[in-house]
Structure 1
Amino acid sequence: MFNAVIDAPFGKVGIRTDGQALREIVYLPGQTASVEPDGELAARAAEQIAQYFENADAGFDLPLAPLGTEFQRRVWDGICSIEAGEVLTYGELAKRIGGLSPRAVGQACGDNPFPLVIPCHRVVSASGLGGFAHHGGEGFFRDVKRWLLAHECTSNRFQLR
C-alpha cells in the first residue's frame, strides 16, 4: 500500500512513508490507480516530485529512512553528487567513491529505494544506457530511465547515446 500515488510523464510514482521519513519511491505503470497523499510527508514528497517533473533542476528536501548497508549508502551518496544533466558510468562512479567494482555499484544503484531523490538514473553503462532498477533489457523501466535523462538534458547539457 502506498501513502500516495501520483501521475508521472511515464506512468505513476508510488510513495511510501512511515510518517516521519520517506521509505520508498516506486515507478508504476500508468494504469495504476492514483492515491491522494494521506499525510503531510506524503503530500510534501508528492509536491516535490511533481516539481521535479516540471523542472529538472528542482531539488528535494525530504527526510529519508536510514535504509541500506554502509556500502549501499556510500554508493547512494556518490550518486547524489552527480548533477542534473551529468551522467557517470558505473565504473566512473566506482572510481569516484573509492575504486569499487562497477558491478557492485550497479547492484547498489538497483537497490536504491529513493529514485529521483537519489538520482540513480544518472549512472549508465560504459556501452550505453545500462539497466535500471534491476531490470535489464527493453521495457518500462528503461523507458523511465530514458525519459528522466532526456528531461534533464533539456538545456543540451549532454547527449544520449
Structure 2
Amino acid sequence: MQTVFINSPLGITKISGDEKGVGLISVLSEGELSTTIPNQLQEAVIQLQEYFEGKRQDFTFKLNPKGTDFQQKVWQELRNIPFGKTISYLDLSKKLGDVKAIRAAASANGKNPLWIVVPCHRVIGSDGSLTGYAGGLWRKKWLLEHETPSNQQSLF
C-alpha cells in the first residue's frame, strides 16, 4: 500500500492505494506533504487537483475501497449523485430499495473511505440542512458551494 499527502483548499489530502486501486482518500487538518508521488497514485492526484481547480466533475481512476457488501452498495449509489446535485438520506435509502434502511445508509455514508470521489458530501437532511459530515460541516459547505454552478446561487 502506497500513501501520498497533497495540499488541497480544505487541508492535507491523504491518498492510499496499490495496483488494485485507491482504497482511501481522507482530509487532515495538518500533516507533511509528500515530495514524490508513487506511480499507482499519480492519476488520483492529478484528478483531485483538477477537481479543486474546477476542471473536473467526475473521477475515472481505479477504486478499491474496503467495506461490507451493504457499504459497497451505498458507496456505489453515492457515485450516482450528479455533480452539483444533492439528495436526502431518505432519498438515498429509497434508492437502495428500503426506506427503513435510512440509519444504516447514513452509517455507511459516514464510513465512506473515499472523500470527494464517493460524494457523501452530496447527501443532506430532508429539510435541506447540511447535517453531519466527518470532515466538518465547513468542508461540506465548501464542497457543495464549489460544485454549485457560478450562475446559480448556493443554497448553503
After TM superposition, the score normalised by the length of structure 1 is 0.85
1:107 equivalent in alignment to 2:102? no
CA contact (8 A) 1:11 1:27 kept: yes
Residue 18 of structure 1 aligns with which residue?
18
Identity %: 34
* Uncovered stretches (5+) of structure 1, i.e. residues with no partner: 134-139
SS in structure 1 of the partner of residue 136 of structure 2: helix
* Uncovered stretches (5+) of structure 2, i.e. residues with no partner: none
1:125 equivalent in alignment to 2:130? no
Letter of the aligned partner of 1:85 in structure 2? Answer: G
* CA separation of 1:37 and 1:130: change in aligned 2, threshold 3 A: farther
Residue 62 of structure 1 deviates from its aligned partner by: 1.5
After TM superposition, the score normalised by the length of structure 2 is 0.88
Residue 27 of structure 2 aligns with which residue?
27
Distance 2:143 2:33 in 1: 21
CA contact (8 A) 1:6 1:14 kept: yes
Residue 136 of structure 1 aligns with which residue?
none
SS in structure 2 of the partner of residue 72 of structure 1: helix
State which drifts further: 109-118 or 54-63: 54-63
1:149 equivalent in alignment to 2:144? yes
Distance 2:105 2:117 in 1: 17
CA contact (8 A) 1:6 1:13 kept: yes
Residue 42 of structure 1 aligns with which residue?
41
Matched length: 154
Find runs of 4+ consecutive structure 1 residues off by over 6 angstroms: none
Letter of the aligned partner of 2:130 in structure 1? Answer: L
SS in structure 2 of the partner of residue 3 of structure 1: strand
CA contact (8 A) 1:86 1:158 kept: no
**Once superposed, what is the RMSD of the aligned Cα atoms?**
2.0
Distance 1:82 1:143 in 2: 21
